[in-house]
Amino acid sequence: MRPFRKRHPGRSGRPGASRPWSCCVDRCRLPLRSWFQDGGARCPTFAQHLLFTAGIACLVVALVSPLCRMASTLAWAHMVQHVLLVTGAPLFLALSRPGNVLLAGLPARLRMTAGSWRRAETPASRPYAYLLVSFVLYGLNIWFWHIPALYQGALLDVSLHLVMYALFLLVSLMFWHSVLETYRTPGGASGLAAMLLFFTFLHTAVLGLLLALSPQVWYPLMAARGAAWGLLPLDDQRLAGLIMWIPMGGVYFAAALAVLARFITESGHAPRDRAPSTSAS
């Protein structure tokens, strides 16, 4: 008589029998389900899904699409790529507020540590310093990578190019997050945020105008590569400067107006809220 062997449920041919991979899926899905069911506010809304998708789409266009190859030969395409990395993708990602969802993908211990750190070190507790630091880093980051030696060095060295991409995205995320925090919770820092956005508009416009009006080519390497497209080097550079000046500057200007409008609207509602209590006293 053959001894009885316990058959593994994953090897059973019976319908409904579980499989090893399904156990792995359940293990990964349970923490996410418990995280989202813990509170309705933590579940991303449809608008957050759209904004996050728009941010990822900007990254795909900048880094994976044919634009990335064109950016290594044409100055205007390189500028479009920079605009997507410093204004498009980080702005949409910061608007989507993916922090809770990203935390859900961490192990439980790391999630608790990161959650406690977020509660203890919120930027709202020191909005002025957060805004000023992010503004300075953001401006320096843009000007730094447009220095001809560094600009052309990034075109020749893949590692340096990846560092440039990473710094563009990380510093820009920090900048837009600091600005959007003042929009979500209007206060004294909202005026500072609007002023810094206006200064960002000004200094990027200056850089764009310098590129557009310069009588000589700033990046000879880009000029040599762009000749294959039948575009004169100076025309290519002027087009890049106009892209930085108008579309990119328009984002900063519109954001400054939005922050100011929100601040004025909220400050106009404040006296009405206090009026009943004042009359009652």
Per-residue model confidence (pLDDT) at position 225: 82
Per-residue model confidence (pLDDT) at position 118: 57
Per-residue model confidence (pLDDT) at position 102: 64
Per-residue model confidence (pLDDT) at position 277: 44
Residues 129-154 pLDDT 10s: 999 999 999 999 999 999 999 999 99
**Closest alpha carbon to 78 in 240, 256, 266:** 240
- 120 has pLDDT over 60: no
Maximum mean pLDDT: which of 4-18, 40-54, 218-232, 245-259: 245-259
Query: What is the full DSSP assignment across 117-144?
Result: HHHHS-GGGSHHHHHHHHHHHHHHHHHH
Mean confidence (pLDDT) of the chain: 80
**Strand, coil or helix: 74:** coil
Residues 213-242 pLDDT 10s: 999 999 998 888 887 888 899 999 999 999
**Strand, coil or helix: 73:** coil
Residues 50-93 pLDDT 10s: 999 999 999 999 999 999 989 989 999 999 999 999 999 999 99
Question: Average pLDDT in the 97-114 region?
Answer: 65
Per-residue model confidence (pLDDT) at position 273: 46
Per-residue model confidence (pLDDT) at position 16: 45
Question: Average pLDDT in the 193-205 region?
Answer: 96
User: What is the C-alpha separation between 2 and 153, in angstroms, rounded?
Assistant: 73
Per-residue model confidence (pLDDT) at position 226: 80
